[in-house]
Amino acid sequence: MARITICIATCNRPQGLRRTLESIAALDTRHSIEVLVADNDADRQEGIGIVERLASQSYRWPIKAMLVAERGIPLVRNALVAEAIARPGISHVAMLDDDEAASPNWIDAMVDAAERWNADVVGGAVVREMDSHLAPWAARHPLLQAKRRGTSGPVALVDSTANVLIAASALRQMGERPFDDRMALTGGSDKQLFSRMARKGFRFAWAEDALVTELIPASRVTAKWLLMRGYRLGMTDMMVERFHKGRLRTLLAEAPRIAAGFLVGTLGAAATLDRGKRVVRLGKLYRAAGKIAGIAGLQYEEYRKVHGA
């Protein structure tokens, strides 16, 4: 039996956090579970309030809330990890976002994959649920599709903490602050950590049946948000590459893809009247521009604004 601490970072999403915690309470599992929530809103502390109310109502699992006053996703993740791996007997740390809900067999599917493929890190599938009507032009956009691989098994890399299980022993080897605080509001600190772990020889696997559902708010189903998300992904990908390879090697490796992104994003977008296709093609331009920004050391802080409730 595994002993798992499920870690959730939250900021200004009390409704989403309650949904996440209710899904964890409904898990069908044979493992020992504890839940740890870190609230990154020093003013309202709504996440702490949700945890306290659920705890007073005899929440199913041991649950604790903590405050991380300084804003920044990696700062919160580092606080969660430090608290979790200090607990005696812990075998794994699992992470979910505060806009996600776990399926009943989620945690057992993750542990089963870790044991079957002797993996230090296991990622799982994420499907999307819209909180409002989805316009036909947006329904085809890649960023709004489910994150699935079609099958379970060993993989080269898991790049997100949105649905992940990590061996506590592996986290202890990644230093006191495994997530890079310099990426406080840009995103990408999870991919950077996992890329570092891959270079150290840790093993990764994918559990297609470890399903969680992400709730997408209407504010993220706009052309502007989708384009800027592409920009941010390009930027943070290059921040990670620069960390490992340096600026010049990263630029030389990415130059052909950046050029192709500008070509498709300009000529391709101009060649269609279909709004959905145009936004997707423009997204390649934005992603290429984001890559240039990341190589140059410029930062776009996408996570300064919180979407959802």
Given a cut of 90, is residue 267 above it in pLDDT? yes
Residues 165 and 255 grouped into a single domain: no
Nearest to residue 196, comparing CAs of 120, 247, 255, 125? Answer: 120
Q: What is the pLDDT of residues 206-261, one digit of tens each?
A: 999 999 999 999 888 999 999 999 999 999 999 999 999 999 999 999 999 999 99
Is beta strand 163-167 parallel, antiparallel or unpaired with respect to 121-130? antiparallel
In a domain, 253, yes or no: yes
Residues 241 and 190 grouped into a single domain: no
Query: Last residue of some domain: 193, 220, 247?
Result: 220
Number of domains in the chain: 2
Residues 92 and 174 grouped into a single domain: yes
Whole-model pTM? Answer: 0.94
Q: Where are the alpha helices (DSSP H) in the chain?
A: 14-25, 46-56, 73-85, 106-116, 136-139, 168-172, 189-199, 223-245, 247-263, 269-270, 275-296
Residues 194 and 282 grouped into a single domain: no
Nearest to residue 272, comparing CAs of 258, 282, 263? Answer: 282
Given a cut of 90, is residue 179 above it in pLDDT? yes
Report the amino acid identity of residue 84. Answer: A
| pLDDT band of 184, cuts 50, 70, 90 | very high
Query: Last residue of some domain: 220, 239, 256?
Result: 220
Residues 111 and 241 grouped into a single domain: no
In a domain, 309, yes or no: no
Q: What is the pLDDT of residues 75-110, one digit of tens each?
A: 999 999 999 999 999 999 999 999 999 999 999 999
The CATH number of the domain holding residue 119 is 3.90.550.10
Residues 156 and 242 grouped into a single domain: no
Q: What is the pLDDT of residues 114-164, one digit of tens each?
A: 999 999 999 999 999 988 888 899 988 999 999 999 999 999 999 999 999
Query: Last residue of some domain: 197, 220, 243?
Result: 220
Residues 182 and 240 grouped into a single domain: no
Range of the domain at 234: 223-304
Residues 136 and 272 grouped into a single domain: no
